[in-house]
Each structure stands twice: as structure tokens, then as C-alpha cells.
Structure 1
Amino acid sequence: MNRRTGFLLGALLILALGWLASYLLGRAESYERVIDHGAAPEVKANPYFAAQSFLRAQGVKVETADSLAKLSQLPSAGHSLLLLGDREKVTPQQTQRLLDWAAKGGHLIFVAERLWDDKKGKSGDLLLDSLGIQQLESDDLDKPEDAKGAAEQPAAATQGETDEAEQHGLSQLEQLSQSDPDEAQAAAPAPDKEQDAYPKLTKLYLENEQAPAYIGFDTDFHLYDAKNLATAWANSAQSTHMLQLYHGDGLITVLTDSWIWQNNKIAKYDNAWLLWYLTQESDVTMLFRADHDGLLSLLWEYFPQALLALGLLLALTLWSVGMRQGPLQLPASFSRRQLQEHIRASADFSLRRSGQQTLLQGLQLDIQRRARKRHPGFERLPVADQWLVLSRLTRLSTSTIGKAMRPLPQQRLTATDFTRQVANLQTLRNAL
């Protein structure tokens, strides 16, 4: 191929590639594709991240806490405290501190965690038992005694509305003025149970509002105010899901669940609005962990090395004082400790510590040392000549000498091979 032909082929190839590129570009169409990578790491780590962002967007100052230790530094007046964590390990002293904090002008919002136990006369939830609030399952309200208890629950703030609530068998919803507990706001009447278009949703009626606010509480639970202290509440078709009562100079709100404010549910219905309504005109602190750390967990958090050392010391102590399995072996008598036993014990020790190579090499070096005494210059001879000298000195065949003096293999010998090699070396050494 000459230069002109190569140039023409290259030009044709470039033209073909250019035509193909223009064709593909003409057929290509641009489009946008949105790839959903899921929630951000901070959202996955905090189930109430959306609730915090919503409150901050409304101008509310929001802080978070992970223990009740911050309660001593938290002002009561103009502050709302949301207990969103598990309270299973909260002590009675911590419970009293929470109630005292609310009595000084704070707004305490928490979730009822335990069901009322008629046999024990308590639920085990220290906050609920202190306030006289009982949490029941909604299915139990069909029982005669529970239905009677639900009917006896305060249904309205005024005397005229109480009669109407008993007639429908449902509590009517209303919100009292926080500035004056004695003046109640006029609550809109709750719709008849048969006319309720949304029986699974909780309705909150406010003054001068034609329609209620709808909240997506879990309808499996019901709150009962045994001491008749509640001043405001919110109901679904069959059960109560929010109770509010005054406590000293402050306010306490009890809910059946706080899932309505988690990331995946706060945007539904009026869930976000209820959070703003309960915390308006106040600073908010969300407490994600209200349980009391035990001594062992605190020690493990701050002194793990000390705990590991203590555990190891305890294990060694138990091992040292533990009962042996079987009788103790008596020490050997001095009369049977002979020189032959010492030699055998030394050989066994050397075999375990140094291995076969060291013992065999020791015998070979001893043979070479004896040969140098009987034949000066032995060490400067080649290996084959050394074997001939040894054969002449010991009157043994060179094959026997070769087997004894050959380089040792790297792998471990079997017991038979090792014994045979030691016998050959001893025979050769004794013959010198």
C-alpha cells in the first residue's frame, strides 16, 4: 500500500465516522431523570427531623436533649417539653421533677405508655398514675363497666354541653382559655356518630371555627380522666386521644401516641398544625431519651477498660479457687530420680523446644569435631572426600555415612525415620 492509498483510506474512514456521529446526534433526544436516593442521613437518624424543621420554619426555637439531666437548667415559663423517648426506666424522683417543672409554668407534653391494670389498680406509667389518667384499649370500651366509665368522663367545660355529650355517648371537644381557667371557650358541637364521615380521625374543635382539625391518632387506645381534671380533649368516633389539664401554673398534655409527628406522618391531615398549636408562643425542647441509665451502663460507657480488667480478674480468681477434677498427683520419690531419667527428660525437653533439626545437627557437628581430631584438615575437604575419610576411619560403607551425614529435610520426620537417623549417627560417632 503506497502513501496515496493510505491517505484515501484514512479520509474515507474519517468521513464515515463523521457521518455516523452526525446521524447519532440527530437521533439522540435529551431528557431529565430524577433519581431518588432516599432520605438524608440526618433524617434517617432522627425520626422527628421534619417536626423540628417545621417548627423552626414557624419561628419557634427548638432544641433537643438526650437525658433528663438538662431539666435542671430548663426554664419553665414560656417553654414546652416534649417527651418523645421511652420512659420505662424513669425513677419516681425524676417523675416528680417533671411534674414540679410543669407546675412552675411549663408545658409538659408526653405519650401514655402503659395500659391500665384493674387488678393492680395502676398502669405502671408513673406520670399517668400521678395525674389520674388511665389508658385503655378502645375495644374494651364495649364492655359495660368501661362504657360506663367512658360516659362518666368529663365531656365539656360548661354545664349545658355536659348533658349533650352524655346523650351522644361521646366527649365533646373544646379548648379552655389558658389565661383564665374559669372562662371556657365555646366549643362547636361534635357531629353525631352516625353522621361522622371520618370516624377513624381525631377531631379538635376550636372557638369560631366551623370545621374541626383532623389528626391521625391511633384509634386502638383511649384516655380516661379518672379524676375529672381535664379541661380540653380531642376524640375520634369512639375514643379519646388527647387530654389537657392544668397543673399548678403550667399545663400538661397527654397523647395516646406521638407517631403523628414522625417524618412519614407529620404531613398527613392536620398533624403538623397540632404540633404548632400545642407549642405556639413558647420555646420547645424535644427529649428523645428520658430513661434513667443504670450503674452498669454508665460504667461501661465511661470505664470499659476497668470493667474488662475486673471481669478478667474475677475469672482468674474463680479459676484459681475452683475445685479440681480428680485427685492431686503426688510428687515423685527422690529414690527414683536417676541420671538416666534426667538425661531422657533433658532430651524430651530439647525435642519439644528446639525440634528434630537441632538434635540431629548436634550429632552431625559432634561427628565432624571428632573427625577433625583424627584427620587434621578434615573441615577443608569436599563433602565426598569427607565421607571417604569417615569410611576409612570407621570402616563403614559410604552409603551408611551418606545417610547419616546428608543435609536434613525441612519437613518434620516421622518417629520411625527420626529414630533410624539417630541410630545411624550414633553408630558413626561411636565408631570414631
Structure 2
Amino acid sequence: MKLSRIAIVWGVLLLAAACALFLYFFERHTEEVDLGFGPEARRNPYLAAQRFLDRLDIGHRRADNISVITTLDDRDALFLASSSQIYNPDRLRELLDWVDAGGHAIVIAHRGRGDNEQDLLLEALELEVTSGDLDLYFNRQVREVFGEEASELQDKTISELMRDHNRKLDEKDSENTSGESPDSAEPDIEGSVSTPRNPDVDPERLVNLTSDSGPSYAIYFNPEKVFAHEMMGKGTDADVNGALLHWVPFQNMPTQSPLVYYERGRGRLTLMTDGGLWQNDRIGEFDHAYFLAHLVGDRELVMITRPRFDTLGTLIQRYALELFFAGLLALAAWIANRSRRFGPLTPPPAAERRSLLEHIRACGHFYWRQNRGVSLFDGARKPLLAKLGGNRNLNADRQRQIAESVAEKTGLAAREIHDTLWGPAPRNEDDFTARLRSIQIIEAAL
């Protein structure tokens, strides 16, 4: 009994000593891990822009597709994430009419992969989207990997860049292993490395816009796609079909512009080639967010980012009553159309039978077409000659006597009877028919 109590006491003491040693040597360490955007931000690439507008008390809402244009007021602003959302000429006309009435549309120009893909808005405005400057230094992925070294590696291929980059990483790893710590960035209060908000971009690549009210905005447009127009390079604006066209070119590249806008009627139509300017990963750079607020102003922004149309199930639920009555009408029309078939069956009509004369006539035509008319005629007059007691070998006087005697009984001409009984076979259908009729008359008279 005493031994068990002593063991319990010693166990408690050892546990207390282990806890004390753990608390004495334990050191709290905080580390921040970037897990990327949350689920809501991944679903909505413009979530940061919407929250920024909320902070400025600028009204905004999302719409499903371009059909919302018929419900907009001339004091609203419309944002289209792609010009391809204008899918037919009617929607294009509605958009331009709304802009003429005082609306403000902000559209991201879309260029498809196929050369034959049609963009109704760009065609109507006579604008062309072409490839811009693809300098490696201004490629975001290359800058993130190589940093400042990208500006010194312009003439190398991607494989050479990656090989040099891996070699330098190996050298840094060996220096860290030997105890020589490389230069590091200045840590902030939390112990993490502070990173600049704006990417390292050549100032010549920034577009600086100055508003009429005074503020200026520095914006970095991705130069991969730019606008091209025949009037660019000759000024900063031009009259195109009655609408004043303005463009903002890159520095040292007056013929390429990432931003153009039209003054149409009482409204404005703004087009940009960079679709990621206000998305979550770039809206915090430079003055992108403030430029969005400047374009919207005191209007209410309607955003169409991902077009969505009602599914068949949604339409059925919405118009269930109409579909029900339409089905009843269709059923009633079908019953009315089929009602004459209801009741006893009508007896089938009696089958028609052809006469014997029709069969004989058909056989005659068949034999005549088979060049068997001579045998038919000889077969018809041979019994008649046998009945008269003569044949075709009689002399001429006897044939004349028989023809004259038969002519007195039948009323036919003696010459006609002679040709029928002893003449050559007929050569055409009319002669054949006349000879057979004569044979029938002679047989009836005898």
C-alpha cells in the first residue's frame, strides 16, 4: 500500500518537472503563410474592387448579362468585362443608344484566338486590337521569378534564363550552408519581410492621366494587347463618324494605346485592352483603384463580369403557368384534329376490275412495240381466208372475184377487201387498226 502511494507521488513530481522544463525552454514563434485568395475571392475576381467601392460609398451591383441595358438609367455606369458579351446587333444598338442618352460604359476589349472571330463593338467603332510590346522585363511571371535581373537578360532565351537562375540559387544555398548569410530585406516589426506594394516597372511604361479636377493617376497597363487606329500618331483625338475619339498612348509609342474613349451624345464609352486592371491581384497596384472610382464618379456601377443566362429549369419554374395552359391548348388542338378518326371505320371501297377489252388492247400495244405486228395481222386474217376457201396463192382473177362477192355482202370497197385479204402487212398503227376492223366486218357478214 505504501509502495503504490510512493509511486504515485514520484510520478506526479516527474510530470511537474517535465512541464516546468517545457515552459522554461519553450519559445513562441509566429510565422505568416500566404494561402492565396479565399473561396469568395476565387469565385469573384472583382471582389476587392467591390469592397473598395463600398468604402467610398459608391453604389454598385452585379448583372447577369447585357440584357440589363434596357433597364439602366442614363445616370448609371456599366462595366463589361469583355466586349464579346455584346452578342448581336440589337444589343449593340441598345448599348450605343444608351450611351448617346447620357450613360457611361466601360468595356474591356476582347480579342479571340481565332482570326475570324467577330467583335461587333470594335467593328462598329472601327478599332483594331493588336499585339503590343512583349518585352520580358514587363512580363509579370518573369519579373516575379527574376526580379531586377530581368532587365539585364533581354537577349537570352527562356532556357538560358532558367539555367542561370538555378545556378545562382545553388550558389546562395552553398553560402548559407557555410554560415555566410546573404543580404536580406529589412524585416518589419512583425518579423516578416516587407514587400513593396507596386511592382518594379520602368516609369516610361506607366500611363499618367490627369483629370479635369486636378488629381493625376499612375496606371500600369499590360502592353500585351493595344489598340491601333489609322488616326493614332497624328494627335490625341479625332472625329470618327460624328463621335469624338480620344486615346492615351504609351510613352515613346504614339501609335499604340491601351485606353481610348468616345464622346457620344451626352455620354461616354471607355474601352481598355487590359482586362486585369481591377481584378483582385492588381487593383492595389499604383492608382488602379482610384482610377476606377474616378471613372464611375457619382453614378451607380452595374458590373457584368461573368455572363449568366437562365437555365431551362429556371425558365420552366418561372413560366410554369404559361407552359401549363400552352400544353392544354396543344392537347385540345390535337384532339380536334384527330376527332374525325374516332368512331366506326368507313368500309373500304370495292376494288376496281379492268375490262377484258383493256387487257386485249394492252397486249396489242405490247406486241406492236415488240415488232410483232405482222404475225398478229397474219394470225387474224388466216382463219378468214380458210373460211372463204382460198389462200394467198390464188391467181389475180380469182382474188378479184372473191373480193367483189364479199363487197356486195359487206358494203366495203372491193379494193379494200383485196388489200385486207391478200395485201402486205400494215406498217403503222392506224393502218393496222383499219385492217383489223375490215376483218371484223367481213367475218360478221359471212
Q: Scaled by the length of structure 2, what TM-score is found?
A: 0.47
If you compute each CA radius of gyration, which structure gives the higher value, 1 or 2? Answer: 2
